[in-house]
C-alpha cells in the first residue's frame, strides 16, 4: 500500500513539474481562449487593398474641382404684412472659370438679389459683383476680387456628350459645402417648365444626386471638364434620381460677348416642336428619317416673319397628342435633324440678328427657309 501511495505521488509531482516547465497548463489555455475573443473580423489584405481606377478618377477630379467650386448666398430685401423690410436669403453654388475671380452660376441663384456673397472652400467670404446674365438659359456671370489666384475649371464641349457616360456633380446641397455625387448622363434634350413659367430647353438629364443648393455648380466629365451647370431637379423636395443641367456650350456665347465688351442678346425663333421619326413619320406621310414637327408659331416672332407654319389640327399618335399639318424641320444650317435638342443646340451658337437656314418638308418637298433670329423679349427675363 505504501508503495502504491509513493508511486502515485511521484507521478502527480512529475506531471505538475512538466506542465509548469513547458507552459502547457492553464495559462496557455486561457491565453488561447482570450486570443480568439475579438470584436470583429477583417480580411487579411484589408490594409493592402487598393482603389479601383474609377475611384482614383473620382478622387483626383474632386481634389482639384472642389477647390474651384464656391458657395453663393443671395440676399433679397422684402416687405412683410406690416410693410417692414426684412432680408430673405437663398443659397446655391458656382465655380471659377478663370484665375481672375470670375464665377459662373445659375441666374435663378442670384435673381433679384440686393447683395451677393461668395464663400470659398477655405471659408473666406467676398462680396460679388454681377457682370452679365442670360436668364433665357438661366446663366449668370459674377466676379470677386480674391486675395490670390484661385483654382478654376476648364469648359468642355457639351455637344459631344453621350448618354451613359460618367458624370460628377459638385456643389453645396442644403449648405453642405464641397459635396461630390456621381452618376451618368441619363438622357439629352430634355425640356423643363420652371416655377416662373419659363421654358428651359435642351437640358442634360442625369441620375447624379442633385439637391437644393446644388444649383449653379459644375457637372463634370471623367476628365474634370465642365460639360453642364446643375440647374434643376424633378420633384419639390429633393433628389429622386432625376436631375437636369444646362449644357455648358450655352454659356460660351455670353462669355465671349462679355470679354469682347458686347452685351449678349439671346436669339429667339418662336416655335415649339416635337421630334418624330420612323413609323410615326410614315403614318403621317412624312419622310421616315423624321425631324422636328412644328406645333405652334408665336405671333410676331422671327419664325412667323419667315413663313414657318404650325400645326392645323390635333391627333393622338401613340400615347401623345400632337398637332399635324405644320412644317417638318429636317435640317438646320445644312445639318440633318436627328434628335429633339438639335434646334436648341443650334440656337446656342447664334445671337439675335443672326440668320439661320431651316430646311422644312412642306407639301411633299423640301424647302429652304432663311430666318433672321429675333431677340428674347424682356418678358422672358
Domain positions in the chain = 68-143, 158-259, 267-380
HSE-CB at 133 with a 13 A cutoff on CA atoms is 20
All cell numbers assigned to 371: 430666318
Please give the CATH topology (third level) of the domain spanning 68-143.
Thrombin, subunit H (2.40.10)
Scanning the structure block, which residue is given the C-alpha cell 447664334? Answer: 350
Q: Are 95 and 70 in contact (CB under 8 A)?
A: yes
Write down the pLDDT at residue 36. Answer: 52
Query: Looking at 66, 74, 90, 108, which residue is catalytic?
Result: 108
Query: Looking at 74, 93, 215, 301, which residue is catalytic?
Result: 215
Q: Is 138 a catalytic residue?
A: yes
Write down the pLDDT at residue 81. Answer: 44
Q: What is the pLDDT along the chain (381 residues), one digit of tens a residue?
A: 555 555 555 555 555 455 555 444 444 434 444 445 566 666 555 444 588 899 999 999 999 999 999 999 886 544 444 444 334 567 889 999 999 999 999 998 988 788 899 999 999 999 999 999 888 889 999 999 999 889 999 999 998 999 999 999 999 888 788 899 999 999 998 888 777 667 788 899 999 988 888 889 999 999 999 999 999 887 655 567 789 999 999 999 889 989 888 888 889 999 999 999 888 888 888 998 889 999 999 999 999 999 999 998 888 887 788 898 999 999 999 999 998 889 988 988 898 899 999 999 998 899 999 999 998 764 444
State the sign of the Cα–Cα–Cα–Cα dihedral 299, 300, 303, 307.
positive
Backbone angles phi, psi at 137, to 5 degrees: -105, 10
What is the distance between the alpha carbons of residues 331 and 336, in angstroms, rounded to a whole number? 4
Backbone angles phi, psi at 221, to 5 degrees: -90, -175
Q: Are 131 and 258 in contact (CB under 8 A)?
A: yes
Q: Are 268 and 276 in contact (CB under 8 A)?
A: no
Q: Are 204 and 156 in contact (CB under 8 A)?
A: no
Burial of 222 (0-12, 13-18, 19+ CB in 10 A): middle
All cell numbers assigned to 127: 462680396
Write down the pLDDT at residue 85. Answer: 39
Q: Are 18 and 12 in contact (CB under 8 A)?
A: no
Same CATH fold assignment for domains 68-143 and 158-259: yes
What is the distance between the alpha carbons of residues 28 and 45, in angstroms, rounded to a whole number? 28
What does the angle CA 368 – CA 321 – CA 319 come to, to the nearest 5 degrees?
120
All cell numbers assigned to 287: 419622310
Q: Is 215 a catalytic residue?
A: yes
All cell numbers assigned to 244: 437636369
pTM value > 0.85: no
N-term to C-term CA, the chain: 117
Largest CA distance in the chain: 132
Q: In sequence order, which residues have a C-beta less than 8 Å from that of residue 248 and are 6 or more positions away? A: 155, 156, 157, 158, 226, 227, 228, 229
Scanning the structure block, which residue is given the C-alpha cell 459631344? Answer: 160
Length of the chain, in residues: 381
Q: Which of 110, 337, 341 is nearest to 204 (CA)?
A: 341
Scanning the structure block, which residue is given the C-alpha cell 444649383? Answer: 215
Write down the pLDDT at residue 214. Answer: 87
Backbone angles phi, psi at 76, to 5 degrees: -120, 130
What is the distance between the alpha carbons of residues 1 and 17, in angstroms, rounded to a whole number? 25
DSSP result, 198-241: -EEEEEEEE-S---TT-TT-EEE-TTS-EEEEEEEESSSSS-SS
All cell numbers assigned to 76: 433679397
Query: Looking at 138, 207, 221, 342, which residue is catalytic?
Result: 138
What is the distance between the alpha carbons of residues 289 and 63, in angstroms, rounded to a whole number? 45
HSE-CB at 3 with a 13 A cutoff on CA atoms is 0
All cell numbers assigned to 294: 412644328
Please give the CATH topology (third level) of the domain spanning 158-259.
Thrombin, subunit H (2.40.10)
Please report which helix (H) or strand (E) contains residue 55, including its range.
helix 53-65
- Architecture field, domain 267-380: Roll (2.30)
CB neighbours (10 Å) of residue 373?
Answer: 23
Amino acid at each position: 500500500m505504501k508503495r502504491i501511495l509513493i508511486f502515485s505521488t511521484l507521478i502527480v509531482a512529475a506531471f505538475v513539474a512538466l506542465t509548469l516547465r513547458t507552459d502547457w497548463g492553464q495559462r496557455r489555455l486561457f491565453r488561447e481562449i482570450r486570443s480568439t475573443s475579438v470584436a470583429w473580423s477583417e480580411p487579411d489584405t484589408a490594409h493592402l487593398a487598393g482603389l479601383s481606377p474609377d475611384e482614383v478618377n473620382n478622387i483626383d477630379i474632386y481634389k482639384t474641382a472642389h477647390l474651384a467650386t464656391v458657395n453663393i448666398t443671395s440676399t433679397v430685401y422684402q416687405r412683410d404684412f406690416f410693410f417692414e423690410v426684412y432680408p430673405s436669403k437663398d443659397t446655391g453654388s458656382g465655380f471659377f472659370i478663370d484665375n481672375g475671380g470670375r464665377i459662373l452660376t445659375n441666374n435663378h441663384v442670384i435673381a433679384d438679389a440686393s447683395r451677393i456673397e461668395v464663400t470659398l472652400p477655405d471659408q473666406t467670404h467676398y462680396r460679388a459683383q454681377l457682370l452679365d446674365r442670360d436668364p433665357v438659359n438661366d446663366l449668370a456671370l459674377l466676379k470677386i476680387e480674391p486675395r490670390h489666384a484661385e483654382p478654376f475649371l476648364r469648359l468642355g464641349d457639351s455637344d459631344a456628350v453621350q448618354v451613359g457616360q460618367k458624370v460628377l456633380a459638385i456643389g453645396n446641397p442644403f449648405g453642405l459645402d464641397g459635396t461630390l455625387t456621381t452618376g451618368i448622363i441619363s438622357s439629352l434634350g430634355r425640356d423643363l417648365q420652371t416655377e416662373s413659367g419659363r421654358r428651359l430647353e435642351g437640358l442634360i438629364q442625369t441620375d447624379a444626386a442633385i439637391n437644393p443648393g446644388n444649383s449653379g455648380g459644375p457637372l463634370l466629365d471623367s476628365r474634370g471638364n465642365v460639360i453642364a451647370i446643375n440647374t434643376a431637379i424633378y420633384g419639390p423636395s429633393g433628389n429622386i434620381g432625376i436631375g437636369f443641367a444646362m449644357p455648358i456650350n450655352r454659356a460660351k456665347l455670353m462669355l465671349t460677348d462679355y470679354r469682347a465688351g458686347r452685351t449678349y442678346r439671346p436669339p429667339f425663333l418662336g416655335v415649339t416642336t416635337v421630334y418624330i421619326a420612323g413609323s410615326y413619320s410614315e403614318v403621317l406621310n412624312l419622310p421616315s428619317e423624321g425631324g422636328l414637327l412644328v406645333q405652334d408659331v408665336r405671333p410676331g416672332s422671327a419664325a412667323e416673319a419667315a413663313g414657318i407654319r404650325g400645326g392645323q389640327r390635333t391627333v393622338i399618335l401613340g400615347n401623345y397628342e400632337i398637332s399635324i399639318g405644320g412644317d417638318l424641320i429636317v435640317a438646320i444650317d445644312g445639318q440633318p435633324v436627328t434628335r429633339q435638342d438639335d434646334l436648341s443646340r443650334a440656337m446656342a451658337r447664334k445671337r439675335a440678328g443672326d440668320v439661320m437656314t431651316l430646311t422644312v418638308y412642306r407639301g411633299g418637298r423640301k424647302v429652304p427657309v432663311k430666318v433672321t433670329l429675333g431677340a428674347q423679349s424682356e418678358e422672358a427675363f
